[in-house]
Structure 1
């Protein structure tokens, strides 16, 4: 009740969420307002897009609810983005960009999300609309004003948004977690990786592209001095006997078949989903020099022409293969969050154009999704095979 300034807003909030739980085919503002008792289309439009919400307070209360049902010391936080196809160019953040739900570049909005997964279930716990850099050009000033974008909003890359989310979640100390998972969009960002590494006791598993360069053994680096502008300077270079770094794809193809281990990672509609895995420690290359030693987990499909996936982890030297395999399967949780909120609750049905409206619609979808989890947990009907099977 203390998250809204007026009682009318609380009523609209209740009606809007009731509409998301309904069997309406389209769960945008107008169909919901027409269908629910006491609904008013214009009033609900103002509520979602313009009325003041205490978003931070709602999010804090929400994460405390998630804590009550899902908190676990071995939980993982997963970062990923989801696209929302849009027509026209007036909606906040819309642009021709890669849309994951379609697997191609399309006119869409993209949100960066954080999900929480544990032995008890999974839920989205944060969201932020990604704004392409062109939205901050002078040509877009009128559009920014029409979309009610806060004036102090600055451009951030997706990894920078995720790093900010992670820092806030960690500083709040509401939800305990031990692992951080993400794909190559975030793994390629030193800013994001450093944000994870700054958290004591947290292990990451990040998917990376096959052309990532590394050494199987430390190549050795030496400091050489040189003269420049009358001054003696120094720089690190590879030792004379060092070999050039190689791509992860080359590492995978060179692994003897005896070092591949077959693991069942989940149950599919046509039976168990099985991959082969291998792990080894490598030294990452950055700007032609050794950077750090990490674990490399390689996953490949079974067959004559295998498809490889690559993951890097800062896990301890004693980490078991089963642990890394288990972590590689947990990212499925955030994909389920997207699937369930879009198909069951209409997360992608919105027709709002303004910045606050996007965040409010996505936030109510997150709350509705967790409420369904809450009910199923209380009724003992929700399976947690997403977590237990890989473990």
Structure 2
């Protein structure tokens, strides 16, 4: 682990104006890896032997360094160590419950943590899932409309002027996908949930670029509940073994051609060489049928589609691992800059952990 952190330290070193914050950044990552738990600056300082938290606090707030440049370096490091043309870029969501109204981007909104409306922060996260290993690769904080409608509130929390406009989850996802393309990170699929699957602009943009995707979509919009019941039993096939998947994918699957009269079929034809497919999944004892809209090269095997659909579950596990091992959302941070710096160093620590585990065999 120390050798991998040293590699990352050398890579990000030139991105800091002075050696002291660079060294403190590596101490911060070490503190995150030392004990996942809650990760306020007092606790991190204690873990690395600092007598007070002021160095950690300065690193997050006033020290001169660019979190985006460090994130670019982490992305490049993961590309070199985990890059694979068959990889999946998987979109997910991380929610952190918050108290009060001063924490940047905190608002009453639905959270997957408690499955109800709570005061929380929501971040769009991206995992890179490759035969060489799995890691979180990027992040964007969702600024709710209750914030963007109040520019002064945003300014007090340190939100930069260019980010004051409201952006949806799919728009934030598109920003991360474009950064990944610009960095020449290889991947075959973009995968995600209904927030992304229902967004025509995101789907159309991916199709224009000839990128395969597998997105969950609401079955109710497609009328697939009744359609699934009418499909002969022999057409369903059991879940295959998914290479690299972190757990079993129980149930049965079936592929359907997207009907021209469906909500999704009204879109322009797919790009040359690609087809759109509905992939239905029913789990033992589950009351509903899960539905995925898949855009993939013609001739793509059904098992490859299942692997792309199942990748969403892997992304959740990586988010849980980052919460547990690198304090992803277990912080007491109120400003925009501090949030991005903490999350970036959390992803750096997780990248080091992933690469070190891979080298250990």
TM-score class, shorter? 0.7 to 0.9
Q: Which structure carries more helix by proportion?
A: 2
Aligned partner of 1:298 in structure 2 is 280
How does 1:18-57 map onto structure 2 within 5 Å? Answer: 18-23=30-35, 25-38=37-50, 40-57=52-69
Q: Kindly state the Cα deviation for residue 265 of structure 1 after the two structures are TM-superposed.
A: 5.0
Structure of greater relative contact order (alpha carbons < 8 Å, 6+ residues apart): 2
Residue 172 (structure 2) pairs with residue 190 (structure 1)? no
Determine whether 1:281 maps to 2:293. no
Which residue of 159, 166, 170 corresponds with 1:155? 166
| TM-score (norm: length of structure 2) | 0.88
**Range with greater deviation from structure 2 (312-321 or 368-377):** 312-321
- 1:64 Cα deviation from its structure 2 partner: 1.6
**Partner residue of 2:6?**
none
Q: Report the equivalent of 1:363.
A: 344
TM-aligned CA deviation for residue 144 of structure 1:
1.5
Structure 1 segments unaligned to the other structure (5+ residues)? 214-246, 381-391
Match of residue 235 from structure 2: 259
C-alpha contact 2:76 2:183 (8 A) present in aligned 1: no
Comparing 311-320 and 188-197, the one that deviates more: 311-320
Which position in structure 2 is the counterpart of 1:378?
359
* Structure 2 equivalent of residue 322 of structure 1: 303
Higher strand share: 1
1:91-130 residue CA offsets vs partner (Å, 9 max, x unmatched): 1100001111222211100001111111111111110100
Larger Rg: 1
How do residues 84-123 of structure 1 correspond to structure 2 at under 5 angstroms?
A: 84-123=96-135
Match of 1:145 among 117, 135, 155: 155
Q: How many residues align?
A: 339
Q: How far did residue 159 of structure 1 move?
A: 0.5
Following superposition, the deviation at residue 288 of structure 1 comes to 10
| CA shift for structure 1 position 37 | 2.4
**Alpha-carbon deviation of 1:25?**
4.2
* 1:180 correspondence with 2:171: no
User: What SS class does the counterpart of residue 330 from structure 2 fall into?
Assistant: coil
Aligned match for 1:212, one of 221, 225, 237: 221
In structure 2, the gaps of 5 or more residues are 1-12, 270-274
